[in-house]
Amino acid sequence: MGAVDKKAADARDQLLQSNIPTDPELRHAWARFLLSLIIRTPEEIRAFKVKVIRDMDVPDPAFQARYDQVRKENWPSTLEDYMKLESPKMLERTAIIVATKLIQNENVLRTFMGARWWVLDTSAVSRRILTSDHPVIMTNGLGRPDGHFALPLSPTKVFVAFMNAEFGEAVRRIPIGRIVREVNDGVIGQGRRSVYAADEQSTTEVKKRMGKRDYMLPFPREIMKN
């Protein structure tokens, strides 16, 4: 993921200064980074691996027939066993390739890039922003009037993007303290293994609420099940 992260860091640096990138390349890099954060979590990568293994357990008759035509006497009887023998890490590599292709989904990237981006500075309130191993907060469907997605950038900065200008203006009028609470509720609830904070002020809240909220995907979960 080095290529994804390196270019996105340039966009992040601008956002931390409350500057919204206008360069299409930077906007694309940041959109791709956001999508990667959703897809490259341990849970999703594990799901990709399960899918690849499951698919390998259901042989393709056409490929098996072609394999039978060229199979030598000392080769395994199935194409799947042959591939595993030739490349023990093949399944893991295939799972990563699948994840990488999803991270390059141009339809989702265009949606992210076309949203109205905003950086909220929360330094005026005492409560600090948390983050977690599932840090991207997103509505269940970005086509909704209130469709939005967000990512904590620092203990005092939050990146937020709106699909609807009127809804975005309405959110901007919400007290900052309330937005901070909503963001923290999201990242705590979505956290599965880790929640990160600048201090231990929220430890009790994290212990009570961690893992109690589903995290959203920008595409149907059936992609991992089919």
Task: Give the pLDDT confidence of 130-177 residue by residue, as tens digits.
Answer: 999 999 999 888 888 899 999 999 999 999 999 999 999 999 999 999
- 5-53: per-residue pLDDT in tens? 889 999 999 999 999 999 999 999 999 999 999 988 888 888 878 877 7
Determine the 3-state secondary structure of 97 from DSSP: helix
CA distances for 95 relative to 4, 57, 158, angstroms: 17, 15, 31
What 75-82 contacts at long range (C-beta under 8 Å, 24+ apart), as own/partner pairs, is 80/56
**What pLDDT does 222 receive?**
57
Q: For residue 113, how many other CB atoms are within 10 A of its CB?
A: 18
Average pLDDT over residues 192-202: 92
What is the reported pTM? 0.81
- 85-98: per-residue pLDDT in tens? 777 677 777 778 88
**What pLDDT does 144 receive?**
86
**What pLDDT does 182 receive?**
95
Longest CA pairwise span in the chain (Å): 74
